[in-house]
Amino acid sequence: MTRTEDKDSRRVTGNETPPKMPKGDPRKVPEANPKEQSGGLLSGISLSTYKYSYEEPPVSMLHENAPYYGMQEDDTIHTLEDYYALPDERRVELIDGRFFEMTAPRAIHQAVQMKLANRFENYRRTKKGGKDCQVFPAPFDVQLDRDQYTMLEPDISIICDRDKIQGFGCYGAPDMIVEILSISTRSKDMYTKLSKYKNAGVREYWMVDPLKKKVIVYHFENGDEIALYGFDAKIPVGISGGELVIDFAEIYDEIRYLYD
């Protein structure tokens, strides 16, 4: 199936005015050095000042070779019409009219994605409170801003409003999103997409970093609370009211062989 065959099922708006592109590098934010707390809340840190420090490791099987997530070099503003006209073999995200190229992730990324998605789905099927929500791992299109200029592909989307689920994917903001970080996707996931998700109304956003063995959790419903966990932690899922807890020590045991 080509992208164009699904045009009738997608939702777009009549907004004809291209968005203004921000000046400067949106990835640059003021530095801050919050103390890491395994399983603890980093209170008093705003989204505009929090910066997760990162030391780049040597190239290994754990991450993708750059460029994995390259932004277009020209200033052309693209729309969903351009997005759906692309050949199937070309994977991109459309963010504020710009294309960001994507290629297939490596084993560590896929392993974490699959194990997390399975745990979310098992909870959904077995718990009464979770049955209204649907779990969609990538590839899955999210027309986040309900306009013609943004179409994202989160690693995991959890959607509790069935009306948002359309033939093409999700029309509007999922309730929860999980992104799995890599060297070359880090800036987009941690800054550009973080801001997009928050402003669109995503309730909870997890960034899972397999290289540093950390999970950053944003609770947008609770005054921009940020929590930082290690891969030894049990992490409650906020949109479940804490009923679902993800045991990352268990997940790490299952993927430990990828670190050898």
Q: Which tens digit of pLDDT belongs to each residue from 86-135?
A: 998 888 999 999 999 887 788 999 999 999 999 999 999 887 666 789 99
- Per-residue pLDDT at 16: 44
User: Sorting pLDDT into bands at 50, 70 and 90, what band is 256?
Assistant: very high
Average per-residue pLDDT for the chain:
78
Reading phi first (left if > 0) and then psi (alpha if -120 to 50, else beta), residue 31 is in beta
- With a pLDDT cut of 70, the percent of the chain lying above it is 70
Is the pLDDT assigned to residue 32 strictly greater than 70?
no
Is the pLDDT assigned to residue 54 strictly greater than 50?
no
Treating both helix axes as pointing N-terminal to C-terminal, what angle do 248-255 and 107-126 enclose, rounded to 10 degrees? Answer: 140
Q: What's the whole-model pTM score?
A: 0.76
Tell me how far apart the alpha carbons of residues 208 and 68 are, in angstroms, rounded to a whole number.
Answer: 17
12: number of Cβ within 10 Å: 16
Mean pLDDT on 72-96: 88
Q: Is the dihedral of CA 153, 156, 161, 167 positive or negative?
A: positive
Where do we find the tokens 């397999």?
210
Domain 64-259 bears CATH identifier 3.90.1570.10: yes
The tokens of 34 are what? 């919050």
Residue ranges per structural domain of the chain: 64-259
- Per-residue pLDDT at 2: 44
Asked whether the bond before 67 is cis by omega within 30 degrees of 0, the reply is: yes
Let me know: does 236 contact 242? Beta carbons within 8 Å. Answer: yes
Is the pLDDT assigned to residue 176 strictly greater than 60?
yes
pLDDT single digits (tens) 202-227? 999 999 999 999 999 999 998 878 99
- Per-residue pLDDT at 72: 54
pLDDT single digits (tens) 236-249? 999 999 999 999 99
User: Sorting pLDDT into bands at 50, 70 and 90, what band is 4?
Assistant: very low
Mean pLDDT on 59-79: 53
DSSP result, 38-105: TTEEETT--TTT------PPPP-TTSPPSPSSPBPSS-PPP-HHHHHHS-TT-EEEEETTEEEEE---
CA distances from 16 to 105, 138, 200 (A): 34, 29, 20
- Per-residue pLDDT at 242: 92
Asked whether the bond before 139 is cis by omega within 30 degrees of 0, the reply is: yes
